[in-house]
Structure 1
Amino acid sequence: MRNTYLLSLSFCTATALISIILPIILILLSNTSFPEISLSSPVSSSFKLPTSIPQVSTEMHHFSKLLKDKLAEASSGNSATKSHQTPSASGATGSTLPKIILFGDSLTEWAFNTPEGFGSVLTRRWEGRAVVRNCGKAAQTSETLKTLFSQTIHSVSSQPQPPPLLYIIFLGANDAVLPPGGQHVPLPTFESNLRHYVSIILTTPAYSTTKIVLVTPPPINVRACSAHAKREDERKGQGFRTWDSKRTYARKVMDVARDFEARGLGDRVAGYDLWERLVGWECEKMGARDEERLPGCGLPGAREFENGIFTDRLHFGEKGYKIVTDGLLELLAGKWPEVFG
């Protein structure tokens, strides 16, 4: 009796193992590339331990079928991440929808964390029509983001999909930090990096119709100095010099954008002068503009930006992001109304 019991158990176990291993081997032979199966997948949630020996073969066969289905789904590329599964009225998903790529530092990365951020607004406006990708990375520069940039290019070029609608490059806020700051990127290197990024997008076949927007770094909000401070002393200070450096890098971004436009590429490339947008907005609120006392510069007589524009004199608050977003949407609708109007 005991031998019969052991023989039955061995037969059930062998059957179960074959039921598991065989479909895996078949799938591996047909496609060796598939993502890792999550423990939260239907495989783990549906399978329960058998309560008696006769159930072993049945339960293990059920498990192997679920596993086979899951692996088949993965190998066919249907197990896309959540960000690639945006439904549309036509039934399209993220794998077939065009992308909008937002590339930059923390000012881009955190634009998805607030309702007025341009990342959040573009995501809402293009829901079901495009996938908005957050390729912002805090504390980075045009130099340190080269690898990430290459990855964004490869992610589109490596598989059939529509050309991205838009590629926004928003850099310079960290590059413009004064030396010997660790983030500082010399102005000629910064310019070269921008030109390289734009040229790669323009010459990559998978980006054949992609629109490119170069966004300037914003000003910083230097604390207002004492009314008795000497102007020349303040101009030598770290605050004003950093503010002025941001302005210099902003002008360079616009120079690069205008150069591509002058070369007949204005239908693909545009510059967004965010530095001027913010300064102009604050001057309009003041009712006057004094080039010697522009907002946020920290010189005697200059005022700080209105509360809510910045949170820490560098990063945007809700009001600041709204100004940024409104200007970007105006640019897109005015420059390419057939796409963004």
Structure 2
Amino acid sequence: MDQFILFGDSITQQAFSQDTPPRHREPSGFFGPALADAYARKLDIINRGLSGYNTRQALQVLPQVVPTLQQARVRFLTIFFGANDARLPNTYPDPQQHVPLEEFRSNLKAIVSHPCLLEHKDIRIILITPPPVHERTALNADRIREPNREPVLRRTAAATATYAQAVRELGDEMNLPVLDLWSAMMDRAGYHDNGVDDRLVPGSVANADDHANAVLESFLHDGLHFTRAAYRVLYDGMMDLIQENWPDQTPDALPFVLPRWDDQEAWKEARGSVL
């Protein structure tokens, strides 16, 4: 079967997770299983989420992530980085993950134009913006994890917003569809501006809007990683994007790779041959 590769950091890696985050009732993993179920017997969903990776590392390992044409054909590739690139420089602990904004943009551009991708002539590349950050929840998670250390913000809502904007701009420049997850979550939090004012961005400690913060808290169990509700937003956004850009590639539009068990004509034609 052709492959649908999910390439990203820990948020992608955990897309199939059956762990239940603290204070939640159900496992977080929804996006991966839902996508695999939707494309069952049509495309293979391949999880290439690499926890902790930034775009500098992603670019380096890309040829090991994408199969050659002799190994498999890639139908879809999602590129979902930025949460680690946007980590503030010189923050605890080492090693540092921060990648400056312009290098982040350059790395993404190098990834989408890499020869190992261009080898797959009909590959459909989907850029995904980094999601918002919930600063209060991140600080609380650090207090629980390391009670003897004063927590310090490693990621901020405003800084991450600039990396999301860079993904949008690259999508426009290279004519690639962008799943704007940052805006999808912020819309649900009652925020409809792509600006980066700390006083206005939900999730910032400078923002006193508790209602908006509560919405993001329901998405980000440690201020960064997803709950089931957040993965559902990602899945719904992915299905809408595919329907809009490639309606012939939606799950309902694709045939089974192997015939149904009761397709008598198919089995009659296949008798004595390899399907």
Query: TM-score with structure 2 length normalisation?
Result: 0.72
**Corresponding residue of 2:118:** 204
Change (3 A) 1:210 1:300: closer
What is the DSSP-based 3-state SS (H/G/I as helix, E as strand, rest coil) of the residue aligned with 1:156? coil
Against the structure 1 CA distance between its residues 241 and 312, is the aligned structure 2 distance closer, same or farther, given a 3 Å change threshold?
closer
Contact 2:135–2:155 (CA<8 Å) still a contact in 1?
no
Residue 174 of structure 2 is aligned to residue 260 of structure 1: yes
SS in 1 for 2:88: coil
Aligned to 2:258: none
Verify the 8 A CA contact 2:11 2:51 in the aligned structure 1.
yes
What SS is found at the alignment partner of 1:151?
helix
Q: Secondary structure at the match of 1:101?
A: strand
Question: Could you tell me whether the CA contact under 8 Å between 1:240 and 1:299 is conserved in 2?
Answer: no
The C-alpha deviation readout for 1:200-225, integer Å capped at 9, x for no partner, is: 268622x101111110101111229x
- Distance (Å, rounded) in 2 between the aligned partners of 1:170 and 1:339: 20
| Equivalent position of 1:246 in the other structure | 160
The aligned amino acid for 1:278 is: M
Report the Cα offset of residue 105 of structure 1.
0.3
Q: Is 1:107 aligned to 2:14, yes or no? A: no
8 Å CA contact 1:102–1:136 kept in 2: the answer is: yes
Secondary structure of the equivalent of 2:68? helix
Q: Considering Cα pairs closer than 8 Å and 6+ residues apart, tell me whether 1 or 2 has the greater RCO.
A: 2
Gap change, CA 1:201 and 1:324, over 3 Å in 2: farther
- Find the counterpart in structure 1 of residue 185 from structure 2: 278
What CA deviation, in whole Å up to 9, does each residue of 1:134-176 have, x standing for no partner?
10011111111233311123x233x154x31110000000000
Contact 2:131-2:185 at 8 Å conserved across structures = yes
C-alpha distance in 2, partners of 1:125/1:241?
34
Q: What is the distance in 2 between the residues matched to 1:166 and 1:300? A: 38
Give the conservation status (yes or no) of the 8 Å contact 2:179–2:241: yes
Partner of 2:81: 171
* 2-structure distance, mates of 1:99, 1:201: 18
Report the residue type matching 1:318 in the other structure.
R
- In structure 2, relative to structure 1, the CA distance for the partners of 1:334 and 1:240 (3 Å cut) is same
Deviations 1:210-268 (A, max 9, x none): 111110101111229xxxxxxxxxxxxx659721110000000111011011xxxxxxx
Q: Identify the residue that residue 241 of structure 2 maps to in structure 1.
A: 331
CA offset digits 1:85-129 (Å, max 9, x no partner): xxxxxxxxxxxx100000010000001115753222111111111
SS in 2 for 1:214: strand
- In the superposition, the TM-score normalised over structure 1's length comes to 0.59
> How many residues matched?
219
In structure 2, what is the equivalent of residue 223 of structure 1? 136
Q: Which has the larger radius of gyration?
A: 1
Does 2:232 match 1:322? yes
1:190 equivalent in alignment to 2:104? yes
Q: Is the partner of 2:122 in helix, strand or coil?
A: coil
Distance 1:156 1:220, change over 3 A: same
CA–CA distance in structure 1, aligned partners of residues 68 and 45 of structure 2:
13
- Relative to total residues, which structure has the larger helix share, 1 or 2? 1
